[in-house]
Amino acid sequence: MAYMGWPPLFGGEITIILFTFAFLRWRTFFSFIQRPIGLICVFYLLLTVPIIIITCSDVGISSMRFASVVYYTIFIYFGYAALDSRLKQRFFMDAMYYAIILSICHALLGRMVPLHEIPPLINGVPLFGNFDHVQVYNILAVPYLLVFLPRLGVRKSLLLAVLAVLGQLFTGGRAAQLGIIGSLVVVLWYRRILKKSLVKYIVPCGIILIFLCAFIYTFFQKSAIGTRIQRQGYLLVAIWSDSPHLPGKAGAKKHRMKMWQEIFTETMRIDPWLGQGFRNSLVEEEFYHPHNSFLTIFGRMGLLGLSMASVIYFGIPIGIARRIRAVKDNEFRRYLLFYLCYVPCALLVGLTAPTLVSPYSALVCNFIFGGALRLHHAVSQENNDLYVSHEPRSCPAGGIT
């Protein structure tokens, strides 16, 4: 619903109301706030109240719209409440395969059919043609394929691999490349969890893909797919330098850097601790958002809000990274690894896009972080033989730790 923009009214607020009735359970809520991250989420939400009072002379729809970067984090609780059992976690991971497939197909279809022009338009938003921040979903295909490849089987893996390549070639940009690189780094760092599949499947498939792209580019350079392969190379260069073949990308990067500097300087001048508030736009209306989710948080809520957001979005993966090696259940170790791969996919895109502000990506992003928090809660319970290994480890000196 969030991805397609249903209902496309005020940024998912109706969806939030519906989910609140579904998942607001007091026992679950008390469990949520007993976790340090959950408690910080509550304080993060409550921080909007004094900021609105202090920085806004009148509170209206615009204030609610600009505050969405904060109150969309309620989906962290929804994910925590919904994925509260082993069965639900497994169902969620299995269903995500089809969600990724549908999102890529939707994006590719939008390249051929003008979906954004098909009525009805509700509140100015096309019902079947939302493509804002589609990269957050498309790049999930790569870590999902790497983590769950043995379980998917040949047909499902091949379908996902083909769509992942096509999705990146025809809809992916620099931010998607950063997300894919980040997720690959996570997989390689924890390659022992995927040791068999990494050697048996992933390495040969990667070599075949590289040779296939090189072959297509060499002999079909003027074709549509050859041009797209060439463009991916230009985009990769444009990440750290100005590609002469993509002058528009260089201009956009310089514009954003200037915009970010102005927002930082103005926020430090007005109020570095509480920010500029939720009333006026931080930048010109042409961009509407500064294309950097964490800078948006700093501009709106200052250092106090940015500190809380950093603890939330980086504290969960750090907690998982500290415990993933101790989990003996192989299935849940892969779940944890996928959650870790999701972090660069979402947050690296968030550094160049309003990922945590737009309902199309923020609702799902926060929901997945909530699921990760619930799974971390499960594996971190003491004396939990189902999830955590308590076997002694031998140290290099020959002793036992």
Report d(CA 93, CA 189) in Å as an integer. Answer: 22
Report d(CA 207, CA 215) in Å as an integer. Answer: 12
Q: Say if CB 5 and CB 133 are below 8 A apart.
A: no
Q: Say if CB 376 and CB 319 are below 8 A apart.
A: yes
Report d(CA 298, CA 70) in Å as an integer. Answer: 11
Residue 336 is predicted with a pLDDT of 94
pLDDT digits (tens, 9 = 90+) for 367-381: 999 999 999 888 876
Answer whether 0.75 is exceeded by the pTM: yes
pLDDT digits (tens, 9 = 90+) for 18-56: 777 777 888 899 999 998 999 999 999 999 888 877 766
- Residue spans per domain, the chain: 13-379
Percentage of the chain modeled with pLDDT above 90: 24
Split at pLDDT 50, 70, 90, the class of 90 is very high
Report d(CA 83, CA 66) in Å as an integer. Answer: 29
Split at pLDDT 50, 70, 90, the class of 111 is confident
pLDDT at 158 > cutoff 70: yes
pLDDT at 58 > cutoff 60: no
pLDDT at 397 > cutoff 60: no
pLDDT digits (tens, 9 = 90+) for 221-257: 677 778 888 888 888 887 777 777 776 676 677 778 8
Q: Per-residue pLDDT averaged across 177-194, rounded?
A: 88
* Amino acid code (one letter) for 101: I
Structure tokens at 50: 């004094």
Structure tokens at 227: 């041009």
Split at pLDDT 50, 70, 90, the class of 218 is confident
Residue 390 is predicted with a pLDDT of 40
Residue 124 is predicted with a pLDDT of 65
* 122 DSSP assignment: E
